[in-house]
């Protein structure tokens, strides 16, 4: 099983907080790791994929830990815990947000959940951010508009011109710093992997544009960290045939999704991951024991 985490929040974060869904605080993350350690042996992603390449059955009771997007705060909180426990981790890192920047959808998450504005005006409509329900409504509208616009990143940048975020909020969601990339590059426990430069929906780009996003990201990560970047994860799990071809062209050895679509004859370019979005231990237990997938398959059948 390859686990996929995104943001980890500090324990001071109020319990009722929301961030485009449930949020995982550091203590919940620790509890999840403790449970996982009793049932799985943690491998580096490289070692996990080496077994997977031989035979996926060899990965039984093995786990690899991955984090997507490359958040500075998440790294600085999770890294000491992982070092203490000797758990390897791979950080699938975007590069347009390095050193204090925000990814386009992360800006919307922070805008709708952090209370910087009481309401938003979206296409002439008023969207209050006073309750979790209203905030979620505003967030869904913004994500849908971004998804249907020609360039989600430009759409977010224009919106941020009207609704800039205060620096302390921005810092909670900002990308890894150069120092952190160098630290990961020098670490025996951690590694960097590709996640595109700006986290676009790959299916909105042609193959050449997809390749450009992947190659620039890979180049920056390798230059700053001093280590080759061998693996890639499709942003948001969205990919098509061209994405698989572009990931190969960019020189990646494997590409990870969340729910594989079996578009390729090479399973190494559609490796599944188990996404963990909830702090609840029982949800992690169900997912990691394969029960969630089992129920989904039964429903589809
Ligand atoms: Zn991502």
Ligand 1 center to residue 53 CA distance, Å? 24
Ligand 1 center to residue 262 CA distance, Å? 20
Ligand 1 center to residue 119 CA distance, Å? 27
The model's pLDDT over 225-258, given as tens digits with 9 standing for 90+, comes to 999 999 999 999 999 999 999 999 999 999 999 9
Spatial contact of 160 and 107, defined as CB atoms under 8 Å apart: yes
Ligand 1 center to residue 139 CA distance, Å? 17
Ligand 1 center to residue 97 CA distance, Å? 12
Beta bridge partners of 274: 3
The model's pLDDT over 30-62, given as tens digits with 9 standing for 90+, comes to 999 999 999 999 999 999 999 999 999 999 999
For residue 293, what pLDDT is reported?
Answer: 61
Helices 178-186 and 207-225: crossing angle in degrees, nearest 10, is: 80
Residue with tokens 């590059």: 185
Ligand 1 center to residue 243 CA distance, Å? 15
The model's pLDDT over 142-187, given as tens digits with 9 standing for 90+, comes to 999 999 998 899 999 999 999 999 999 999 999 999 999 999 999 9
For residue 285, what pLDDT is reported?
Answer: 86
Ligand 1 center to residue 277 CA distance, Å? 13
Return d(Cα 231, Cα 195) in angstroms, integer. Answer: 9
**DSSP at 97:** T
Residue with tokens 């299916």: 203
Ligand 1 center to residue 69 CA distance, Å? 5
The model's pLDDT over 88-120, given as tens digits with 9 standing for 90+, comes to 999 999 999 999 999 999 999 999 999 899 999
Alpha helices in 40-131 (DSSP H): 45-54, 72-85, 104-113
Indicate the average pLDDT of the chain: 92
Ligand 1 center to residue 39 CA distance, Å? 27
Is 295's pLDDT higher than 90?
no
Ligand 1 center to residue 20 CA distance, Å? 14
- The dihedrals phi and psi of 208, each to the nearest 5 degrees, come to -65, -40
Comparison of pLDDT for 245 and 260, the residue scoring more:
245
Average pLDDT of 113-136?
A: 92
Is 294's pLDDT higher than 80?
no
Confidence category of residue 296, pLDDT binned at 50, 70, 90: low
Alpha helices in the chain (DSSP H): 26-39, 45-54, 72-85, 104-113, 132-148, 152-162, 167-173, 178-186, 207-225, 241-249, 281-288, 291-300
DSSP-derived 3-state class of residue 231: strand
Ligand 1 center to residue 290 CA distance, Å? 23
Is 18's pLDDT higher than 80?
no
**In order of start, what are the domains of the chain with their CATH numbers?**
2-101+174-300 (3.20.20.370), 104-170 (no CATH)
Ligand 1 center to residue 231 CA distance, Å? 14
């Amino acid at each position: 099983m390859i686990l996929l985490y995104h943001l980890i929040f500090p324990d001071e974060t109020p319990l009722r907080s929301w961030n485009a869904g449930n949020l995982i605080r550091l203590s919940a993350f620790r509890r999840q790791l403790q449970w996982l350690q009793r049932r799985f042996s943690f491998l580096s992603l490289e070692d996990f994929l080496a077994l997977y390449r031989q035979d996926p059955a060899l990965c039984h009771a093995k786990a690899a830990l991955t984090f997507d997007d490359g958040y500075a705060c998440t790294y600085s909180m999770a890294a000491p815990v992982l070092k203490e426990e000797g758990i390897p981790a791979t950080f699938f890192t975007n590069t347009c947000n390095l050193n204090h920047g925000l990814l386009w959808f992360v800006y919307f998450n922070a805008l709708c959940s952090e209370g910087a504005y009481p309401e938003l005006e979206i296409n002439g409509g008023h969207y209050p951010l006073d309750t979790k329900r209203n905030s979620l409504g505003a967030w869904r509208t913004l994500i849908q508009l971004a998804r249907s616009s020609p360039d989600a990143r430009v759409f977010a940048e224009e919106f941020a011109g009207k609704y800039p975020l205060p620096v302390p909020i921005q810092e909670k969601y900002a990308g890894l710093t150069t120092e952190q990339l160098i630290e990961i590059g020098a670490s025996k426990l951690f590694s960097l992997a590709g996640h595109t430069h700006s986290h676009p929906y790959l299916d909105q780009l042609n193959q050449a544009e997809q390749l450009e996003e992947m190659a620039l990201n890979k180049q920056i990560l390798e230059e700053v960290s001093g280590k080759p970047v061998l693996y890639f994860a499709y942003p948001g799990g969205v990919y098509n045939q061209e994405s698989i071809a572009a990931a190969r062209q960019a020189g990646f050895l494997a590409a990870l999704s969340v729910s594989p679509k079996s578009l390729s004859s090479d399973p190494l370019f559609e490796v599944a991951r188990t996404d963990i979005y909830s702090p609840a231990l029982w949800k992690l237990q169900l997912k990691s024991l394969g029960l969630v997938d089992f129920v989904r398959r039964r429903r589809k059948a």
